[in-house]
Structure 1
Amino acid sequence: MTDLSTPVRALLPGVGEPAAGLPALPGAVLAAADAERVRRTLDGSVSAATRRAYASDWRSFSAWCAAKGYVALPAAPETVIAYLSEAAATVRPDGTPAYAVSTLTRRAAALNAAHASAGVPAPGAGGQVARAALRAIRRERTAAPRRVDPLLTDDLKLILRSLATPAWPGAVAAARDAAVLLAGFAGAFRRSELAALNLSDVIPSRHDGVHLRVRRSKTDQEGAGLIKALPFGHDPLTCAPCALYRWMDLLEAVDGDGGRVALMRAVRGSGDPGTHLCRRERARTDSELPLFRSLAGGGAVKATRMSGHAVNEMLKRRAAAAGLDPTRYGGHSLRAGFVTQAFRAGADSRAIRRQTGHKSDTVLAVYDREYAPLVGNAVTSIGL
């Protein structure tokens, strides 16, 4: 039985760990330095998250095959169907499926990638057998996929009012969280995109408010980039540029090596949160330090980047403090909230995609259908 780890070792002779999903390359063994450059180039063709996920999926499949006595590579189509079917039938103690269909779909993709990397055909005709199995699994799953609720403008205002505090040290977390929430909502950001922002990605604009540069996203793995504009707000409470600048003023004190005393002084001098500070002339910074950072006790700001998971947990925590049910919300609620609120306000899909970066209306239609069902609906004009 073939024992392969992450996910195949046979991509290039002498190169070491392969890049998942790439065809095997023929040719002579390379010198060590050249082989290392090739390895780095191939690894860069897929995201680190995808490599980690595929590696984990391959370990799961190869361990399952070892326990069952099946050959993992090349795998027979029936072996893949049995593996996916068993995973689909696995349930948690509460009776719910242990694996979402999206997880099983990724696992099937990982197996195809492993076979392609090893230079052998995918199970079945081009992976069609795995796709057929996944279609059958989807038909059996009658429950609608669970989605977090969108956070609408009124919900956001409720949360922002509950976290507003001028007192040390809570004011530090309040300033960061307000900036995360408003940037995430107004910019229709994914939580991973928020976490990836650096200080240099904040571009002040005298006319527009703030431009935020997204260097790479889930649907832009090649890094073409996207600029999202956050306009000046009417209300200081919900003005995204104000929130960003308040947080950046605190970071300036932290990054200036002034320590705790400088940060406390910056908190005291941050001004009345009920007044605008966004019209003040701002210079763009070239600092590549993270924009949104982790916090420690006592108001300390860490140098480490706030993770996407931390964004999710922060939103849940702040929602609960505002009296909302935290189980209904998550990091995606900000992006979903933007789309839903925009539809409710009469925006068309093209205008919404300008901010979200969606390539088509397919995903937007889900929000339109599920969260704004009366927008453009003839039922409102039949005289009931």
Structure 2
Amino acid sequence: MGVAGRGLTILASADVVDAELVHGNEAGAGVAVHTERDRRLSPETIAAIEASAAASTRRAYGADREMFAAWCLHEGRTVVPASGETMAEWVRHLTVTPRPRTNRPAGPSTIERAMSAVTTWHREQGRPKPNMRGARAVLNAYRDELAEQKAQAAQTRQATAALPAQIRAMLARTDRTTLAGQRNAALVLLGFATAARVSELVALDLTAVTETEHGYEVTVYRKNVRRRTINAILYGTDPATCPVRTLRTHLAALSAAGRTDGPLFVRVDRWDRLAPRLTRGGRTIGDPAGRMTAEAAAEVIERLAATAGLSGDWSGHSLRRGFATAARAAGHDPLEIARAGGWADGSRVLARYMKDVDRVKNSPLVGIGL
């Protein structure tokens, strides 16, 4: 059984044997058995492996792995390597056990994530992936059961798409005479124009923005695909929702406040002061440069949607989904949309966005004369 540590499992000493070279019948053949040192990871390497995933993913996977390990301990089962039977029983447990926060069992998408957390846990240790056939069968039966019950959990939860009409409504009530209003407008419009996740958006520095004859170019690092995209930010037809004019106003406000380097999006307090120092118990907390957190950026989007009276499931991902939906509806090629937004090749999420648009746009009912 493994010992959990900061999202990874470090193999216990019982899994380690002394090194020896075992010669087979064939000349020169040999199999090296790993020593304890071979299987040891330094704290620095563990941190580097953990940092390769988005912070939200690390938190979710860490919680899933802790729950799995606790369940295995209670059931007397081995955590890593887990058997196919253990995985099937665990998934069944998830489908019938209410969660404290909702008092309902987890939905299929949440269980999918938990399964991925455990299988990647095995891979991180060089262990073979568990046989997931039984677990998949249990999950499929659960999906069928929820669908027959017409349960909300059977539907894949998606953020509401922030389309241009919704963005206009969100910004109509924004006071752009204030630092906060100017920042929020720039955050929404730049987030839409670059199809950025909120974590990518708040990671932007002023050096990522370059003024050009067509407006701006913004370089966004897409952590999920490990590459940078250079996004052309063009003038809009409506000054109120023009990303170029709005970004220029925000940059001018930062410059007037003495901000010529550092984060593009920074904290603004209730008194409209730029990036005041945050303290707790006399100690400075938060980013010393005042950079916004991804959670704060998402709250801006959710709050603006609520103030505008927009219904739906609004989140930080609404801008990214809105870009993909609006671009496809305007007839743009899916490959160009994927490149601009940093989606991985063959992204199932982007394909779903495309399908949502194409279902209406390419319907056989179009043009048949009803």
Letter in 1 for 2:242: C
Query: Paired residue for 1:304?
Result: 290
Letter in 2 for 1:350: L
Q: Give the Cα separation in 2 of the matches to 1:236 and 1:2.
A: 58
Shift of 1:85: 1.4
Asked if the contact 1:209/1:231 (under 8 Å) is kept, the reply is yes
Q: Give the Cα separation in 1 of the matches to 2:123 and 2:309.
A: 51
Query: Paired residue for 1:8?
Result: 9
Asked if the contact 1:211/1:230 (under 8 Å) is kept, the reply is yes
Query: Paired residue for 2:228?
Result: 225
TM-score by length of 1: 0.74
Shift of 1:324: 1.9
Q: Give the Cα separation in 2 of the matches to 1:179 and 1:12.
A: 54
Q: Give the Cα separation in 1 of the matches to 2:52 and 2:328.
A: 36
Counterparts in 2 of 1:28 and 1:313: CA distance versus 1, 3 Å: closer
Query: Could you tell me which of 318, 343, 346 is aligned with 2:304?
Result: 318
Give the superposed CA RMSD: 3.2
Query: Could you tell me which of 253, 263, 266 is aligned with 1:290?
Result: 263
1:333 paired to 2:318: yes
TM-score by length of 2: 0.77
Counterparts in 2 of 1:138 and 1:200: CA distance versus 1, 3 Å: farther
Shift of 1:174: 0.8
Query: Paired residue for 1:19?
Result: none
Deviations 1:14-40 (A, max 9, x none): xxxxxxxxxxx935738x9x9566556
Shift of 1:308: 2.4
Q: Give the Cα separation in 2 of the matches to 1:36 and 1:149.
A: 40
Q: Give the Cα separation in 1 of the matches to 2:130 and 2:116.
A: 11
Give every structure 1 segment of 4 or more consecutive aligned residues whose post-TM-superposition deviation is greater than 6 Å: 93-96
1:342 paired to 2:327: yes
Letter in 2 for 1:86: H
Q: Give the Cα separation in 2 of the matches to 1:148 and 1:117.
A: 31
Where 2:222 maps in the other structure, the secondary structure is: coil
Asked if the contact 2:229/2:340 (under 8 Å) is kept, the reply is no
Asked if the contact 1:10/1:117 (under 8 Å) is kept, the reply is no
Asked if the contact 1:88/1:97 (under 8 Å) is kept, the reply is no
Asked if the contact 1:3/1:62 (under 8 Å) is kept, the reply is no
**Structure number with higher strand proportion:** 2
Asked if the contact 1:5/1:58 (under 8 Å) is kept, the reply is no
Q: Give the Cα separation in 2 of the matches to 1:132 and 1:338.
A: 35
Query: Paired residue for 1:114?
Result: 121
Structure 2 residues without counterparts, runs of 5 or longer: 15-32, 148-153, 276-288
Percent identity reads 32
Query: Could you tell me which of 376, 381, 384 is aligned with 2:362?
Result: 376
Asked if the contact 2:80/2:122 (under 8 Å) is kept, the reply is yes
1:63 paired to 2:70: yes
Query: Paired residue for 2:216?
Result: 210
Letter in 2 for 1:290: P
Number of aligned pairs?
330
Structure 1 residues without counterparts, runs of 5 or longer: 14-24, 257-284
Letter in 2 for 1:355: A
Query: Paired residue for 1:192?
Result: 199
Shift of 1:163: 0.9
Asked if the contact 2:98/2:104 (under 8 Å) is kept, the reply is yes
Counterparts in 2 of 1:54 and 1:374: CA distance versus 1, 3 Å: closer
